[in-house]
Amino acid sequence: MQPLDVTRGDGPLVLGVPHSGTYIPEDIRERLNSLGQKRADTDWHVDRLYSDLLPGATMVRANFHRYVIDANRDPEGVSLYPGQNTTTLCPTTDFDGKPIYHEGQEPNAGEIESRRLAWHAPYHAALRAELERVRAKHGVAILYDCHSIRSVVPFLFEGTLPDFNTGTNNGVTCAPEFETAVSDRTRNADGYSAVLNGRFKGGWTTRHYGRPSEGFHAIQMELAQKTHLATEDLPFDYDEDKARRLRTHLKDILAALEAIAPVLADQNSKIEGAHHE
């Protein structure tokens, strides 16, 4: 199993998909308990949801499951949300805080490092390479990190999650034009709820790559799974009707980001030119 797949496009957007993969190597799978083997915390069908929405968009998709290693966590193991419940680089509990391994079968520090080298590092090497390629071609690169989660997860957040959860680490990871374009479209999507920088402000990927001053912009979109799944429990089936309606809005969001990119790149070019005069 290859750690990742890259579908390369020629536009300014790179779609990161770190959590839709379902592959767990057998030596890890047999150490998981029945809850772990259920793989409930997958971002089910997110790659399918975004597939072919925007001609020219690049997609970097992790094939491994987040229980192998979480591609959206700091490789040093630093918490994204200090003081709040969350899961770790190599999770030992699910989103409900329940153990996913048979007792005593959790990975030790050496195994975590081996998994990082085998899975986490190649994914981010590919993501970095695509962002740099796109930035070189267009003057800007936009990382749109694609996620989904169950609508109700009491261990992680209170109540029911809004449908669209846009994260820019409070405006740090992208130019305000990009943030506004996404926020306006999610807020005005008929029949959907939305929040900007709520419980999910952007994971490690968004925070690590989002450097607007260097032409790298990053946004995380966390979707409530009720927007596109028939059920948020087994068998986690894709709902064609729900997805078709949602994809209309997602397409509009991606198209808006693409349209802004050359304008921003031109502005940056003029600023840089003025600095050199």
- Tens of each residue's pLDDT in the chain, 277 residues: 899 999 999 999 999 999 999 999 999 999 999 999 999 999 999 999 999 999 999 999 999 999 999 999 999 877 665 656 567 899 999 999 999 999 999 999 999 999 999 999 999 999 999 999 999 999 999 999 999 999 999 989 999 999 999 999 999 999 999 999 999 999 999 999 999 999 999 999 999 999 999 999 999 999 999 999 999 999 999 999 999 999 999 999 999 999 999 999 887 765 554 444 5
pTM reported for the whole predicted model: 0.94
Residue 170 buriedness (CB in 10 A; 0-12 / 13-18 / 19+): exposed
Convert 16-25 to b/e letters by CB count within 10 Å (16 or more is b): bbbbbbeebe
Residue type, 105: Q
Distance of CA 114 to the CA centre of its chain: 23
Residue with the two structure tokens 């767990």: 24
Q: Which residues pair with 196 in a beta bridge?
A: 166
- Backbone angles phi and psi of 167, in degrees to 5: -125, 125
Three-state DSSP class for residue 128: helix
